[in-house]
Chain A
């Protein structure tokens, strides 16, 4: 984590609200993106992004090492996303489609989708992968997203998930196994 972020965290811990605003600006895109990958819809990703920063504001006193701010932040975001996934369980959730989003957001998202670089990815296959990931239990799914999608190390994932590295390995192995089974021949 950069020295500038560590400085902002330290200032914020001393009560500087401007420093908090700086941290929101620095991390809101990352938190939103992580939440979107976990929940696969804008409305819930937006809820996670907002609630994560509110919780960070109230709990910053619990962070002992400012250098670990990113793990602390992602842990709050991940836990909140897991809560949302568990609340979803057992009830039908109507996933909002992009047409329900405000105009500016729709435009920004559609621009992203039509980016020629991104069209190289087989969108249909990607959509199938996301659906398969959506069926994984919350903790296995989070482990897979943090490690294989976000590219975090097992040690970092363990810190964020609040579990031993061995559990990360095990969850990752099971999640990948299930994904391979569900996707079957699509992966060849």
Chain B
């Protein structure tokens, strides 16, 4: 190192992190190199000054108030603040139960809608069968297959309610008469 500058190692040298051989080399080099000698002195002085920097003491009253502010901030941020968020015990049983209830509700809803629609369909078929049995409103075409019901000929419409003409006749004010 005597031929090379030693300044890159001055920090480690002062921190006591160089090997005995490196230490001897640095010490030998600074004897002959004024540039590195100056750098080593500068580094020593800088470190000494940095080591003497101290923060001011704001006093016990300040630290008491700081502690109160920390507690208040935590209290306002955490609803269930018996435990810190990261270590709060997780109610896994409760979570599973909630999920199961949700699933059961969805399944029930699906089954009920399916059941209701099939019930409605069944009733519809039953109604058509009854009507067919009565032989009313059923139009039989040339092939003999029953199709859409024929319009009633009397004052009753296709859904079985009285026709508008009939309604007029039954009106309270009797204007149709």
Contacts and interface: CB of A to CB of B under 8 A. Distances in A.
Interface string B75-109: 00100011111111100000000000000000000
Given A29-B63, A45-B55, A148 B50 contact: yes
Interface in A1-50: 12-15, 17, 20-21, 24-25, 28-29, 32-34, 36-37, 42, 45-46, 49-50
A24 B99 CA distance: 40
Contacts of B46: 129, 148, 176, 179-180, 183, 187
Nearest to A35: B55
A172 B50 CA distance: 13
A74 interface: no
A94 interface: no
B171 to A, nearest CB: 77
A87 interface: no
Interface SS of chain A: helix
Interface in B1-37: 8, 11-12, 15, 17
Interface residues of B, number: 44
Interface string A89-123: 00000000000011011011101110000100100
Interface string B31-71: 00000001101110111011111111111011100110111
Contacts of A130: 53
19 contacts: A12-B84, A15-B84, A17-B82, A28-B66, A29-B57, A53-B70, A54-B77, A57-B70, A61-B86, A61-B87, A109-B57, A118-B54, A129-B53, A130-B53, A148-B50, A149-B50, A151-B51, A176-B46, A183-B46
**A-B interface, 8 closest residue pairs, ranked by CB to CB distance from nearest:** A61-B86, A108-B59, A36-B55, A33-B55, A109-B56, A148-B50, A15-B83, A105-B58
Interface of B: 8, 11-12, 15, 17, 38-39, 41-43, 45-47, 49-59, 61-63, 66-67, 69-71, 73-74, 77, 81-89
Interface of A: 12-15, 17, 20-21, 24-25, 28-29, 32-34, 36-37, 42, 45-46, 49-50, 53-54, 57-62, 101-102, 104-105, 107-109, 111-113, 118, 121, 125-126, 129-130, 144, 148-149, 151, 154, 169, 172-173, 176, 179-180, 183, 187-188
